[in-house]
Every structure is written in structure tokens, then in C-alpha cells.
Structure 1
Amino acid sequence: MGHPLRTQLVEAALAWQERYGIAPAITAALSEYDAAHLLGITDDDYSHCMTDRTAVTRGADFVWRSRRYQIKANRPSGAPRSRVTLVPKARNYDWDFLIWILYDRVYAVQEAWVWEVTPYRAAFHDMRRLSPDDYRRGTRLA
């Protein structure tokens, strides 16, 4: 999926994990890129919309066509029978759409779900922890 740089990043992270036991933290960067692709954004357009972003930009992870996107993702550890049971919750509502992506252990997208901010807030604001099944109540992207 996507640009050869994505493939190189995944290969490097998996080689690191094989050598040192824990993969580097690449899930956030990959999930933002993969979410853009799921929305039909080209590599060039994604690159352009990310040029003024920083890792600590509050709220949305990227803006496309005046819509703010917050991206969350999970990947199982790779240990035998490991699976994702808790998922990240948005800490603010400074976005229009949230996309949650579940990867397999080699960073292939297994599923992706999108939520608009108002139904997300109504469903999850008072919850402390979320599960994959909570996000699966949204609209499926992949």
C-alpha cells in the first residue's frame, strides 16, 4: 500500500523488532499516511498538506478539503495469540472526523472505521476506555 518509503519504514521497524525485541514507534506516522490513502488522497497531496504540521500539533492530524482528521491506530504486539483489546480515545474534539485503523503484526491494514465528531462525543465522552468493538460501531472504511 502506498509509497516505497512506507514499505522501507515497515521493513526497518520489523527488522529492528526482530533484532531488539520491540518495534520502533511508527504506528502514528503510518496510520496518518494510510488514513489519507483510504480517503483517496494522493501521495503528492498528502505530502503537501503535511508540510506545515508538527508532531505536537493539537487536534487534527491532517486537514483535507477543509475537513480536520484525527487518526488513531493499533497493532498487536506480535506475540503468539496477542490481540488488541484497548484502543486510544480522542482527548479533545478539535477535529471533524476520527479514523481508527487496526493493523496486523506486519502493519497491514485489517480494518478502518470513521466517526464524525458529534456522534463520537455522544457515544464515548463519558467512557474511560474503549475497545475495538466500540470503534466498530462507526462507518467502515476498510
Structure 2
Amino acid sequence: MGDNIPGGIVAAAKNRLQVVKCLEDVEVSECESCSFEVTLNLAYIEGVWTRDGVQLKSKPNCRISTHGKKHSLILNRAALGDAGLFSFQANGIQTSGRLSVRARDIHIVKELEDVDTTERQPVNFLCEVNQVDVDGRWYRDDCRIRPGDNIKIRHQGK
């Protein structure tokens, strides 16, 4: 006699939302960019991204986008504090992936050298590290030195 299933139920079963490609765990070094991608079986479904249960919104360092069936989250310049469990949820489905962020291995390449000078003469101190985009700070006797009228601090690199 064949299946006696109403056509609406068959259509609903075919249109049931499913994850085609799940989120995967991602590991990056600090300051690198990374992305999470989810592919669904249906296009233009609205979803929500979360990190450790807190909803995320698009902003300059976190871009959220949808292109048809593909949902993406891109983190620019990941920081140690960005690590956690990222999840995508839509219409009762969920997929998750963990982000691990490794601290950069920063070390001094060129040490400070002693400088002899006379009073009121300019003096330059130079310190070189192995990474670019390192937030360096200068200290004298455990007291932080800040730029001023007679102190200039310059940082070179990307």
C-alpha cells in the first residue's frame, strides 16, 4: 500500500535544520587572527554566537557574518583573554569549539648598555625584542618613566 505519510510532514522533515560542518577547536598564538565556521543545510538562518555562554556581537576585533549556509566568526589579534568555548546556536541546534591562545615567546635580543654623558646632553637607550607589536615600558629604579618635555620614548616596528 505504500507509506501513508501526509506531504506536509515529509516536507518538514526535509527542511529540518541540521549542521553540515561543525565548529572545530582552534589554537593560535597571541595577536594572530583566527576564525570559526559553521555550515548549515539551510540558507539564511539567523543564529547566535557565544563565548562561555555570553552572546557576542560584531565589533572591530570580532566580525560575525553569514553567507548563505555558512556562518563565520573572525577574531582579529586574539588576546589571552579571548580563550574559551565558542558556540553557535540556531533554531534548536548548537555546535561548539574551544579557542586556545598561546602567549607569545617574547625575549630581549639587544640588552641595554651603560651610557656615559655630560650633564644636559641628550642620551639614547636602546632595547630590542624578538617580536613586533610588543607593548614596552621603561623604568628607572622601579619607577615607570613616562614621556614628557625632556623624555621622548619611541617604539619602532609594525
TM superposition score category, shorter chain reference? under 0.3
Bigger Rg over Cα = 2
Tell me which protein shows more helix as a share of its residues. 1
User: Normalising by the residue count of structure 1, what TM-score does the alignment of the two structures yield?
Assistant: 0.24
Tell me which protein shows more strand as a share of its residues. 2
User: Normalising by the residue count of structure 2, what TM-score does the alignment of the two structures yield?
Assistant: 0.23
